[in-house]
Structure 1
Amino acid sequence: MAVKGWEKNSRGRPAKKRAGMTSMAEEDRISKLPDAVITHILSFLPTDEASQTCILSKRWKLIWHFVPILSFSDADYLSPLDLYQFVDDCLEHRKRGMYYMVGSVITSFKLEMNYCYQASKAYVVDKWLAFAVQNKVKEINLRLNSSPLDNYHYWLSETVFIARDLTILQLEGLDLGTNSSIKLPALKTLSLNSCYFDDDGLGDGLFKILLGCPSLEKLLIHSCLNLCSAGDQLRLRSSSLKFIKIDNFENVVPIRVEAINLESLELSGFIFENSSLSACKAIRNLTLTFYEDKGIEDGSSLDHIISNLPLLENLTLKDCYKLKLEHCEYIKISNQLLKSFNLKNEDAKYESYDHGMNVIIESAPKLESFCYEGNINFSIAMESSNLLNGKFVIHDHREKNYDSNWFNSMMIFLLNLNCPWNIVTLHVYSDKDLMLSENLKRLYRSPLLKWKHLRVITDCKPKTESDLKDALMWISPSLETLSINEKIIL
């Protein structure tokens, strides 16, 4: 193999350097770096690649022993046995090396098995984790997805539940038995993805885990089975948690969060009737995603939750179009410190919904910005002394014929935006969405709106900006500034 910077001649000997090429010593800049910098670079590589650097030279022979991150994946292994053998050999080398290499530590252990995990090898994984915990590892990341033919999921070793130095624990595809005592005094972040609990369900199991994590600040849960038994309430209690994100699509239940220091909360797929966040007085950021037609029977339950968060500044409601309010036709929002309100129907890009959405914003004196994403079956009413910055992203996946029905709906949509705005951003698919027919112009009188500052964004480039400008000036003749796709028109 030719050395970089040189070429071999016909006899296999190094040929002369080409003009302008540096010497081998000058080319090998990495070897001139301090060991600490090299180990930092190697820490971004999978361990099997980092260990291969030992063949480069005598100096490189032991450097990989000082890489603090051990990362293993079955992505490049054809046989499960190859991966098991490599991890065993690697950990044995590190174990021997740590006896006589001062400064060789392990801070992170990552293991990803998308198809290699075998139930019969669970004791081997236990051994690997025990090695990591004994060496005071601070981060463990396990992703063990069993074969479709194997219904057995890896049962997390009890050794991990008493890892006193652990600060980050990320688990995917594991069975979390919580019969043993849990003592994770230093844990700051816990992430559970597609995990399973015992017969007690995640509600009880998670409650036990939180009791054993007095320093936990960040909790993430996604698609875990047995989240809660039907008809029960998921209860979370922690005085240390600052951030919670839970995606619950398996069993939609009410939730009760008791976290006095919680600042950010993101919930998906919960019933908000009988839910409570009343103990979370420190929440500043709240995101709620609704699931199918469940969540609210009376809009007052949502208003009650929001209005009783005294420090709330940023509110995001997603996929509200999935709600079917039985006792009212609107969602009411009120909060004394609320600054930003986002209403995003992201799935509306792919799904059709015909029922309208009505939002009333009242008693929100600090509100500065409002963002809506969805179709044009929307109306808003505001009671605010502030001039708001508004952004409206219009989605409609149905075929548009731009007939009288479409333009009539667009006119009504625009009329329903007749609120006190500072700057309005209007994002539509095409300039045709705003080219109102002459018949409708005679039916509706100009001006429709009294906007002063407007930004228009179109997915398709307008054929003529002048025609679009004329249409917008008819809608709101009082425009003082106008930009189309970031181009200043006025």
Structure 2
Amino acid sequence: MDKISRLPDELLVKILSFLPTKVAVSTSILSKQWDFLWMWLPKLDYSTRKYSESECVRLRCFLNRNLPLHRAPVIESFRLDFLASQFKPMTIRSWLLTAVSRNLLEVEISHAYTKKVLNILPSSLYTCKSLASLKLNGMRTLVDVPRMVSLPCLKNLWLEGVKYKNEDSLQRLISNCPVLEDLFLNGCKGDNMVKFIVIVPSLQRLTVIIPEDIDEFVIDTPSLKYFKIDYCNYKRHHCLIEYMPKLEEAYVEVSFDDIYIERFIKPITSVKRLTLCIELYGGDGFVFNQLEHLQLCTCDEYKSDEIVVRLLKDSPNLRVLDLFKMKCHDTIGGLYRWNQPSTVPECILSSLQTFKCSGYLGTRGERDLVIYILKNANQLKTATILFPTVDMKKELTLSSRASNACQLVFD
């Protein structure tokens, strides 16, 4: 202990920063030298998920008394993970207000479900010049964005299960983050998200989960590299998605009227890796020149074969094809039929190297598709079939293969 105590305070604080905040604070009882070292910690992480009521009271008193005395010139991260009923909104807001005044870089607020709307965010949070990451995860946190917003350094924004003060709050917040790179939005029923408008030139990652119908949907993100969307809306509404020339990976699960298919598919045709679950696919005029890896959900057994054929035709450089069913889909899935195209798609003849059929059900359509791939894929190296029947194993093993190097794998 004496050797450690001889170390400079800066190094001791560095050591303490690797410990859970509660443990680091407890070191204050070791000696007078350690009494206030924790007050220089750049990262503060408090979780009360397993706290008793008395422990929550002690933590509240501790933070009320000591957080204003915190000495670190910069708080790198401030995290609160708690049950919403344990602390009053005014108490949480006061803690955040103190953290913001210390050149706060990252803040994360997580809390469990509550029927009350919590207005816990101070207005100064929306004008914090140093803030680089903001994560709000918890039902009914109120996002009340003031008219004056300035977040010049915010790069990461995560909003899950929050409630917006009005329909303009979300757009006002996003439009005042000039260097935003990563945006995660998970909507919930009654959150006041009437319009979804994201026009951010700097954005590189976008995750959107919208369970409810909205009236307007606009995405203009020319720098986007990763795009994930889970969206269902069968009513007529304004929908505009601009082309994403730098897109590398996309996860698209959408359900809507067929008039919107082109508006969702055409903007992502530059993608290299695509996971897709879609009810309809027009395919006219779409060309996925860069697409190398395709995961296609076959939960609709009556339309999947049409979508497979069209995508194969539109993806001349495809190297990996994986047919699967998303875990959250409770339909039987699989290919009910396989109507092979009149001409073999270019990717099957020249580029397809890996084929995988996950959750193989042994339907006639699946069997015919696998045989078709084996028979025509000249460059195929591996064909993997998961959970085949004994009879299907025999039939597929005896089927002809265009590629002598192809290995047929059963898992």
Q: TM-score, normalised by structure 1?
A: 0.68
Q: Is 2:311 the partner of 1:368?
A: no
The equivalences for 1:84-233 within 5 A come to: 84-90=57-63, 92-96=65-69, 98=71, 105-118=74-87, 121-147=88-114, 150-173=115-138, 174-198=141-165, 200-201=166-167, 204-226=168-190
Residue of structure 1 aligned with 2:357, choices 389, 393, 418: 393
Separation in structure 2 between the aligned mates of residue 84 and residue 194 of structure 1, nearest angstrom: 27
Change (3 A) 1:255 1:286: farther
- Do the aligned partners of 1:264 and 1:286 also contact (CA within 8 Å) in 2? yes
**Aligned residue pair count:** 388
- Aligned-partner SS, 2:159: strand
Counterpart residue type for residue 317 of structure 1 = L
- Distance verdict in 2 for CA 1:78–1:304, change over 3 Å: closer
Partner of 1:316: 275
Residue of structure 2 equivalent to 1:383: 346
Deviation at 1:65, TM superposition (A): 2.3
1:70 and 2:44 correspond? yes
Pairwise mapping of residues 186-335 of structure 1 onto structure 2 (< 5 A)? 186-198=153-165, 200-201=166-167, 204-226=168-190, 234-251=196-213, 255-271=217-233, 275-290=239-254, 294-297=255-258, 302=261, 305-309=264-268, 311-318=270-277, 320=278, 323=279, 325=280, 334-335=287-288
Structure 1: gaps spanning 5 or more residues: 1-24, 398-405, 460-490
Please report how far the alpha carbon of residue 109 of structure 1 lies from its aligned counterpart in structure 2 after TM superposition: 0.9
Which deviations, in whole Å up to 9, do the C-alpha atoms of 1:80-109 show, x marking residues without a partner?
A: x642542442464354352xxxx6642211
- Paired letter, 1:335: F
Give the drift of 1:34: 6.8
Question: Counterpart in 2 of 1:434?
Answer: 392
Q: Note closer, same or farther for the CA distance 1:50–1:355 as it changes in structure 2 (3 Å cut).
A: same
Higher RCO, 1 vs 2 (CA within 8 Å, ≥6 residues apart): 2
> Greater shift after overlay, 381-390 or 303-312?
303-312
- Structure 1 runs of 4+ aligned residues shifted over 6 Å read 28-34
Between 1:130-139 and 1:271-280, the stretch displaced more is: 271-280
Tell me how far 1:29 sits from its aligned partner.
Answer: 8.8
With over 3 angstroms needed to count, the CA separation of the structure-2 counterparts of 1:305 and 1:409, relative to structure 1, is closer
Q: CA deviation at 1:243?
A: 1.0
Q: 1: CA distance between counterparts of 2:4 and 2:85?
A: 35
Shift of 1:393: 3.1
Residues 282 and 310 of structure 1 are in contact (CA less than 8 Å); yes or no, is this contact kept in structure 2?
no
Task: Identify which range, 153-162 or 55-64, moves more after superposition.
Answer: 55-64
- Structure 2 residues not aligned, in runs of 5+: 326-333
Q: Distance in 2 between matches of 1:435 and 1:206?
A: 53
Q: Distance in 2 between matches of 1:96 and 1:411?
A: 70
| Residues 395, 428 of structure 1: 8 Å contact kept | yes
How much identity, in percent, do the aligned residues show?
19
Structure 1 position 179, deviation (Å):
4.0
- Distance of 1:447 and 1:310 partners within structure 2: 34
CA distance in 2, matches of 1:96, 1:88: 13
CA contact (8 A) 2:73 2:102 kept: no
How many angstroms apart in 2 are the aligned matches of 1:42 and 1:431?
57
| Higher Cα Rg, which structure | 1
The aligned counterpart of 2:380 is 422
How big is the shift at 1:233? 5.4
Instruction: Tell me if structure 2 keeps the 8 A contact 1:332–1:362.
Output: no
Shift of 1:191: 0.2
Partner of 1:487: none
Q: Which one of the candidate residues 395, 412, 415 is aligned to 2:368? A: 412
Find the aligned partners of 2:262 and 2:313 in 1 and give their Cα distance: 11
The 3-state SS of whatever aligns with 1:268 is: strand
Residues 103, 130 of structure 2: 8 Å contact kept: yes
